[in-house]
């Protein structure tokens, strides 16, 4: 009687080579223009709410919320990297961008959405 000896398990790892993604446009897809964005964060995600400044009332800008996007912190970090690369390319190829703020206007504020009440 012959006994077969088991071969030791070998783990094979292969690096997946991904090509350029093909975007399939959903029928509900829309494109919006926004000149305002509110950024909120929690431990688990970031919420970007895009909107339009519609005017000023009693010295405060009136904003119309148009669309929100919720991303993981990892996706936000990658988005920041990609945006920085694209802004640098734009400034290299076109012109340097300068930020002008109205008197009393501060930078974009980040709020903690984990404290928001569910509606």
The pLDDT, as a whole number, for residue 18 is 77
37-60: pLDDT as tens digits: 999 999 999 999 999 989 889 988
Between residues 102 and 14, the one the model is more confident about: 102
Per-domain residue ranges of the chain: 36-95
Percent of the chain predicted with pLDDT > 90: 49
94-113: pLDDT as tens digits: 999 987 776 666 554 444 55
The pLDDT, as a whole number, for residue 117 is 44
Between CA 7 and CA 14, with CA 11 as vertex, the angle to 5 degrees is 140
pLDDT surpassing 50 at residue 78: yes
Mean local confidence (pLDDT), 67-76:
97
């Amino acid at each position: 009687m012959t006994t077969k000896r088991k071969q030791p398990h070998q783990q094979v790892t292969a690096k997946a080579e991904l090509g350029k993604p093909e975007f399939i446009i959903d029928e509900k897809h829309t494109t919006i223009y926004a000149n305002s964005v509110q950024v909120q964060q929690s431990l688990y995600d970031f919420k970007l709410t895009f909107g339009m400044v519609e005017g000023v009332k009693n010295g405060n800008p009136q904003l119309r919320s148009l669309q929100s996007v919720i991303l993981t912190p990892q996706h936000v970090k990658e988005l920041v990297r990609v945006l920085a690369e694209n802004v640098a390319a734009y400034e290299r190829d076109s012109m340097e961008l300068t930020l002008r703020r109205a008197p009393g206007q501060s930078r974009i504020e980040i709020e903690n959405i984990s404290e928001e009440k569910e509606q």
